[in-house]
């Protein structure tokens, strides 16, 4: 705790001048499903409230995670360190060391009120928070349990709405001129698997065919053969009950039937009746068509994609509405004037790109994570920044904004120089980002690590001893690895140098990640 004591020996600004921090955070929210990022659903499924932050503040177009898994990403955000330094490598074996320094602890010691409400997903009870009210594990969409220092309580309703209710209740009781500055982490379960919408959105997108990605039927040619070995395929791996929300048991072998919809079991009879009524006609049509042999393999994949993407975007509709509720309260209460608000998610997600759902791979769709920030008087409205940032930058940014020194063992960098300079990076800003995934058995994505700069991406697969190099300018969909193309020999050497430099900088062991 010596570093913590040193950081708090003097505060450069009085408490009244330090900003409040509202950290709005979701799970598995792909940037391509946020209209401010100009993704393919911008017209069909806009996100007007998240877009408000882009319009009133700044949006980062090159925002990346260090490890595209829920728990490790959250640990990186709290500590400002890569997974191999904070100790939370993966969800299968990892446990978060809650005794280590985190940005809420630093802020708490500096006089901030600290609260976390919603999804935690870091195994141990939260520390460094004056108030915590969290979902156990992954949590549930319907009638979720919440755990606090007072015990466990089940709350009737839809999880996204309930988290916002709890966050607004805390704000109303703990904000105002007589209160200390605060940091509120409002963390949503949505849109994590199994994509159960709120009842008011069951029929959203009915009768529409939402846009497919160009790579829905990717054959994984011209890249590592390991890409075809994953188990996160829309065509093969979405479950009949859990993911596609279909009733009974699958009779068609093209549908995986290993897991059932656990959310359905939590519903009240009234909730089940609404759910059954909303999905019944579409379900019956599919089952009849399958029995009649009307659907070839491509048609089945397209049906799965449409069911998946509609439910995913339905979950986001509730998420966006609730973000709007928080922003409305901050504006109406006058808190917005001295409140830094960010919206982010723990990583991106595949929405059919490369034929996938889920995350893990270092391809753009799951490497990217949204980052939008509003801070009146500091952040110029309407700015789009192309600077390279990562989730290890959040903690140092919050400390810097509060007037605290940044601990030397934090591996991220404060974003304040970018925020105060209309998104332009200073000359000494990073030239690349480092990523490492440990290779969980879930979904069979192999271990790999790599680097990305403003144009190229290089990653290494140690199990198969393969390099993969992508030219993101000429091949934005990452369909061809050019690691063995003589025309890219110099680029490959340069990127390998960057790879080694960043591994050295972040103290990655030779056999890491």
Fold exhibited by the domain 2-9+27-191+318-353+360-420 = Alkaline Phosphatase, subunit A (3.40.720)
- DSSP category for residue 3: H
* CATH 3.40.720.10 intervals, the chain: 2-9+27-191+318-353+360-420
**The pLDDT value given to residue 173:** 96
Q: Which of 93-97, 145-149, 294-298, 372-376 has the lowest mean pLDDT?
A: 93-97
- Reference 393, options 418, 356, 376; nearest CA is 418
Residue found under tokens 């929300």: 245
* CATH 3.30.1120.10 intervals, the chain: 434-505
Q: Which two tokens stand for residue 169?
A: 């209740």
**The pLDDT value given to residue 256:** 97
User: What one-character-per-residue DSSP string does 317-329 give?
Assistant: HHHHHHHHHHHHH
- Measured between alpha carbons, how far is 188 from 167 in angstroms, rounded to an integer? 11
Q: Which two tokens stand for residue 34?
A: 């946020």
Residue found under tokens 């990217």: 368
**The pLDDT value given to residue 513:** 65
What is the mean predicted confidence (pLDDT) over 490-494? 98
- Measured between alpha carbons, how far is 462 from 80 in angstroms, rounded to an integer? 26
pLDDT class of 16 with cuts at 50, 70, 90: low
Q: In the beta sheet, which residues pair with residue 448?
A: 437
- Measured between alpha carbons, how far is 159 from 143 in angstroms, rounded to an integer? 7
Residue found under tokens 């921090």: 21
Q: Which two tokens stand for residue 371?
A: 């980052």
Residue found under tokens 């879930």: 442
**The pLDDT value given to residue 178:** 82
Query: Do the Cβ atoms of 435 and 450 come closer than 8 Å?
Result: yes
Fold exhibited by the domain 434-505 = Arylsulfatase, C-terminal domain (3.30.1120)
Task: Give percent above pLDDT 70 in the chain.
Answer: 96
Q: In the beta sheet, which residues pair with residue 239?
A: 256
**The pLDDT value given to residue 177:** 79
- Measured between alpha carbons, how far is 498 from 485 in angstroms, rounded to an integer? 19
**The pLDDT value given to residue 94:** 73
Query: Do the Cβ atoms of 227 and 355 come closer than 8 Å?
Result: no
Q: State yes or no: pLDDT of 266 exceeds 90.
A: yes
How does pLDDT run across 48-73, given as a tens digit for each residue?
999 999 999 999 999 999 999 999 99
pLDDT class of 5 with cuts at 50, 70, 90: very low
**The pLDDT value given to residue 195:** 98
What is the mean predicted confidence (pLDDT) over 207-221? 97
Strand, coil or helix: what is 274? helix
Strand, coil or helix: what is 39? coil
Q: Whole-number mean pLDDT of the chain? A: 95
- Measured between alpha carbons, how far is 450 from 436 in angstroms, rounded to an integer? 7
Q: State yes or no: pLDDT of 274 exceeds 90.
A: yes
The pTM assigned to this predicted structure is 0.96
Q: State yes or no: pLDDT of 7 exceeds 70.
A: no
- Measured between alpha carbons, how far is 137 from 354 in angstroms, rounded to an integer? 29
Q: State yes or no: pLDDT of 299 exceeds 70.
A: yes
Does the CA dihedral 372-29-358-294 come out positive or negative?
negative
How does pLDDT run across 69-125, given as a tens digit for each residue?
999 999 999 999 999 999 999 988 878 899 999 999 999 999 999 999 999 999 889
Task: Give percent above pLDDT 90 in the chain.
Answer: 92
What is the mean predicted confidence (pLDDT) over 489-493? 98
- DSSP category for residue 180: P
Q: 471 preceded by cis ω (within 30°)?
A: no
- Reference 369, options 55, 110, 21, 64; nearest CA is 64
- Sequence-distant (6+) residues with CB within 8 A of 122 are 71, 74, 75, 78, 88, 96, 98
How does pLDDT run across 146-166, given as a tens digit for each residue?
999 999 999 999 999 999 999
What is the mean predicted confidence (pLDDT) over 382-395? 98
**The pLDDT value given to residue 10:** 40
Query: Do the Cβ atoms of 74 and 83 come closer than 8 Å?
Result: no
Q: State yes or no: pLDDT of 378 exceeds 90.
A: yes
- Measured between alpha carbons, how far is 506 from 138 in angstroms, rounded to an integer? 30
Query: Do the Cβ atoms of 106 and 404 come closer than 8 Å?
Result: yes
Q: State yes or no: pLDDT of 3 exceeds 80.
A: no
């Amino acid at each position: 705790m010596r570093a913590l004591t040193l950081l708090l020996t003097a505060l450069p600004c009085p408490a009244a001048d330090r900003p409040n921090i509202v950290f709005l955070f979701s799970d598995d929210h792909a940037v391509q499903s946020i209209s401010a990022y100009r993704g393919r659903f911008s017209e069909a499924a806009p996100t007007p409230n998240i877009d408000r932050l882009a319009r009133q503040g700044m949006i980062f177009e090159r925002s990346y995670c260090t490890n595209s898994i829920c728990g490790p990403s959250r640990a990186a955000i709290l500590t400002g360190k890569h997974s191999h330094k904070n100790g939370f490598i993966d969800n299968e074996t990892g446990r978060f060391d809650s005794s280590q320094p985190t940005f809420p602890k630093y802020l708490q010691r500096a006089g901030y009120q600290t609260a976390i409400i919603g999804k935690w997903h870091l195994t141990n009870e939260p520390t460094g928070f004056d108030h915590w009210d969290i979902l156990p594990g992954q949590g549930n969409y319907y009638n979720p349990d919440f755990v606090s220092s007072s015990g466990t309580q089940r709350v009737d309703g839809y999880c996204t709405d309930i988290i916002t209710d709890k966050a607004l209740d805390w704000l109303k009781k703990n904000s105002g001129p007589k209160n200390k500055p605060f940091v509120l982490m409002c963390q949503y379960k949505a849109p994590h698997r199994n994509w159960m919408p709120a009842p008011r959105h069951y029929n959203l997108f009915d009768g529409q065919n939402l846009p497919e990605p160009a790579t829905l039927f990717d054959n994984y040619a011209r890249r590592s053969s390991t890409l075809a070995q994953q188990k996160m395929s829309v065509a093969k791996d979405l479950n009949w009950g859990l993911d596609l929300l279909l009733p009974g048991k699958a009779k068609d072998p093209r549908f995986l039937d290993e897991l059932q919809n656990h959310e359905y079991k939590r519903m009240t009879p009234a909730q089940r009746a609404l759910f059954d009524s909303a999905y019944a006609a579409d379900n019956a049509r599919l089952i009849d068509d399958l029995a009649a042999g009307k659907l070839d393999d491509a048609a089945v994949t397209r049906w799965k994609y449409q069911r998946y993407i509609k439910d995913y975007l339905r979950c986001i509709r509730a998420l966006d509405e609730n973000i709007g509720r928080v922003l409305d309260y901050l504006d109406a209460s006058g808190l917005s004037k001295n409140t830094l608000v960010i919206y982010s998610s723990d990583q991106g997600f595949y929405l059919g790109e490369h034929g996938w759902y889920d995350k893990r791979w270092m391809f753009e769709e799951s490497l990217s994570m949204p980052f939008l920030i509003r801070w009146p008087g500091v952040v110029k409205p309407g700015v789009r920044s192309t600077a390279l940032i990562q989730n290890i930058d959040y903690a140092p940014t919050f400390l810097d904004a509060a007037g605290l020194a940044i601990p030397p063992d934090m591996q991220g960098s404060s974003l304040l120089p970018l925020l105060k300079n209309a998104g332009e990076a200073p000359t000494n800003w990073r030239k690349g980002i480092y990523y490492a995934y440990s290779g969980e058995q879930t979904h069979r994505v192999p271990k790999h690590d790599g680097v990305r700069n403003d144009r190229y991406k290089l990653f290494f697969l140690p199990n198969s001893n393969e390099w993969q190099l992508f030219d993101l300018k000429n091949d934005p969909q990452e369909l061809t690895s050019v690691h063995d193309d003589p025309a890219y020999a110099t680029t490959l050497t340069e990127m390998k140098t960057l790879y080694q430099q960043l591994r050295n900088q972040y103290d990655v062991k030779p056999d890491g990640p």
